[in-house]
Amino acid sequence: MKDFEYFSAGSLQEACSLAYEYKDVGKILAGGQSLITLLRQKLISPTCLIDIKGLKELEYIDFDQSAGLRIGALTTHRAIEKSPLIQEKYSVLSEMEKSVASVQTRNWGTIGGNLCSADPIGDPAPCLIALGAKLKLVNAKGERVVPMEEFFVDYFTTVIEPDEILAEIQLPLPASNTGVEYMKFSTIEAGIKIVSTSVAIAVKPGTDVCDGAKIIMSAVAPIPLVANKAAQMLKDKKLTDDLIVEAANMAASETDPTSDVHASAEYRQQLVKVIVKRAIRQAFEKAKKA
Amino acid sequence: MDSTKKVIKLKVNGEAYEVAIKPRMTLLQLLRNELGLTGTKQACMDNSCGACTVIVDKMAVKSCSILAMQVNGKEITSVEGLASKDGKLSPLQESFLEHSAFQCGFCTPGKLMSSTAMLEEMPDPTEEDVRRDMEGNLCRCTGYVQYLEAIMDVVGKRKEAAK
């Protein structure tokens, strides 16, 4: 690891001014569960790190009956997994967090750091997109809110500007008549996911007719992939088994996976067909009970 | 003092330390190279294997992937801190011995730290809970059965003692 200057920010305001001052050479450090490895492997070598991990003001889980859920960007994966509030109202989020890396990584790693590292194998992003999340980005001058679908640009790249810091993840109230399911395929639980998907299905009350769908997959494209064509196939249709299989196949055709040591591109595409099909079925069942 | 160094204060195994370090130093390097606590093992160095697991503020974490600067002011327990001062082993250490819960032993400190933190948080886990919780600790010798038995034995004995 190369030497760098290190600042520990005492407040979000201080972090923002440091981020502005060092915007050409600095990196924001949260839990560092991806960043430290990248530094060690010299894949990146910033000359300055701005450590925000200690900012308690960005560590919270708040629920409001009208506004929905707000999660501070420095909330750990473990805190989200264990939150009784999230288990009750957004159970899919807690279920997903349970399979993010290992306990040790979840204890130190933060949700905001995970999203900003923008690794396309990450599970939180697809799940949060399915739940309709928005991200609050702040800098020294103000803030802006970005829908999560528009956050990711390319491998390890987001719309976040060098002087901006992700401060909060905002989720709307759980949608009525809607079920959300997370599903993954990995060889071991704490290992790299070969593919995963999060699916939200809304049904017209009392029917088997789909009122809207979102299908998002990880590890099959440079960014979390939203399968728009597959979702469109389901809208306003009765969700028969045949249609679900067709939609899952469509989702697989929308992917652009690469081959790596974990799986070949063909294998990933084949797995998408299976897990998206299963996830649609599960989300549909949940929606009918929601 | 080297001007690129920064001073941090921390407690390791109950003892207070004040050390001047380069910001790029990881917690693992601090423990092993600066404090001479070589019980914590260095293996994969990319957050995968769990051999470097220590406890920071009651949570198991991988010390290879945390900067030492980030534990400024915190309390750390490494494997050297599990036994009491007079050398009496912790119940988990005893049980690991009894069950021969290691082959080469390189992953053992990490496994002890993960299971110690787990039993603090979850006093009465099922075998499934233990399997799930310990997934971040790999064993290259594939010795996964004996340590599972060792941990469950401690859980069982605790329950017995509580009766």
- Kindly report the CATH number assigned to the domain that includes residue B28: 3.10.20.30
Cβ distance A4 to B56 less than 8 Å, yes or no, reads no
> Domain range spanning residue B65?
6-81
Asked if B151 reaches chain A (Cβ–Cβ under 8 Å), the answer is no
CB contact under 8 A, A103 and B135: yes
**Single residue among B81, B110, B132 that ends a domain in this structure:** B81
Same domain, B102 and B37: no
Q: Do B67 and A6 touch (CB under 8 A)?
A: yes
E strands, chain A, where?
5-8, 26-29, 48-51, 61-64, 68-72, 134-138, 143-147, 152-154, 157-158, 165-171, 178-186, 193-203, 210-218, 225-226
User: Cβ separation of B136 and A1 shorter than 8 Å?
Assistant: no
Name, in order, each residue with C-beta under 8 angstroms of B32's C-beta and a sequence gap of 6 or more. B38, B40, B42
Q: Say yes or no: B12 and B58 in one domain.
A: yes
pLDDT band at B142 (very low <50, low <70, confident <90, very high): confident
Q: What is the pLDDT of residue A143?
A: 98
| Residue in A3, A37, A189 nearest the CB of B135 | A189
Cα–Cα dist A56/A256, whole Å: 39
Please identify, among B57, B81, B105, the residue that sits at the C-terminal boundary of a domain.
B81
- Residues of chain A in contact with residue B23, where contact means CB-CB under 8 angstroms, are 3-6, 49
pLDDT at A190 over 70: no
Residues in Cβ contact with A218 at an 8 Å cutoff, skipping those fewer than 6 apart: A120, A121, A122, A123, A125, A126, A193, A195, A196, A197, A224, A225
Q: Is the pLDDT of residue B151 over 60?
A: yes
Instruction: Give the residue-averaged pLDDT of A88-110.
Output: 96
Q: What angle do CA B79, B96, B74 make, to 5 degrees?
A: 20
Give the pLDDT mean for B79-91. Answer: 96
Per-residue confidence at B130, pLDDT binned at 50, 70, 90? very high
Q: What crossing angle do the helices spanning B144-162 and B91-98 adopt, rounded to 10°? A: 130
B75 and B135 both lie in a single domain: no
Cα separation, A258 vs A281, in Å, equals: 27
Residue of B nearest to A48 (CA): B23
**Mean pLDDT for chain A overall:** 96
- pLDDT the model gives residue A90: 97
Residue B1 inside a domain? The answer is no
CA B2 from chain center: how many Å?
31
- The domains located in chain A, with CATH, are 5-51 (3.30.43.10), 56-171 (3.30.465.10), 179-289 (3.30.390.50)
Only one residue has tokens 């939180």, namely A124
> What pLDDT does residue A4 have?
96
CA proximity to A160, closest of A129, A118, A109, A216: A118
> What residue type is assigned to position B120 of the chain?
E
Q: Does B116 have pLDDT greater than 80? A: yes
Residues B95 and B77 in one domain: no
Quote the number of domains for chain B.
Answer: 2
Of B47, B118, B133, Cβ closest to residue A37: B47
pLDDT bucket at B4, cuts 50 / 70 / 90: confident
Least confident of A105-109, A160-164, B33-37, B120-124: B120-124
**How close A112 comes to chain B (CA, Å)?**
17
B13 and B75 together in one domain: yes
A78 contacts B45? CB cut-off 8 A: no
Q: Hey, which residues 32-61 in chain A have their CB within 8 Å of chain B?
A: 32-33, 36-37, 39-41, 49, 51, 53-54
**How far apart are the two ends of chain A, measured CA to CA in Å?**
50
Q: Residues 6 or more apart from B152 whose CB is under 8 A from it?
A: B127, B130
> Which of the four pLDDT bands, split at 50, 70 and 90, describes residue A118?
very high
With cut-offs at 50, 70 and 90, classify the pLDDT of residue B1: low
Buried b (16+ CB within 10 A) or exposed e, A38-63: bbbeeeeebebbbbbbebeebbebeb
Give the pLDDT mean for B18-40: 98
The residue among A273 and B48 whose pLDDT is bigger is A273
**Token output for A258:** 């690469």
| Mean pLDDT across A91-115 | 96
Q: What percentage of chain A has pLDDT greater than the value 70?
A: 99
pLDDT at A191 over 90: no
Q: Is the pLDDT of residue B117 over 80?
A: yes
How confident is the model over A151-178, as a mean pLDDT? 97
pLDDT digits (tens, 9 = 90+) for A51-90: 999 999 999 999 999 999 999 999 999 999 999 999 999 9
Of B70, B34, B120, B11, the residue nearest A35 (C-alpha) = B70
- A231-235 — which CB contacts under 8 Å span 24+ positions? A234/A201, A234/A210, A234/A280, A235/A210, A235/A211
Rounded to two decimals, the ipTM of the complex is 0.96
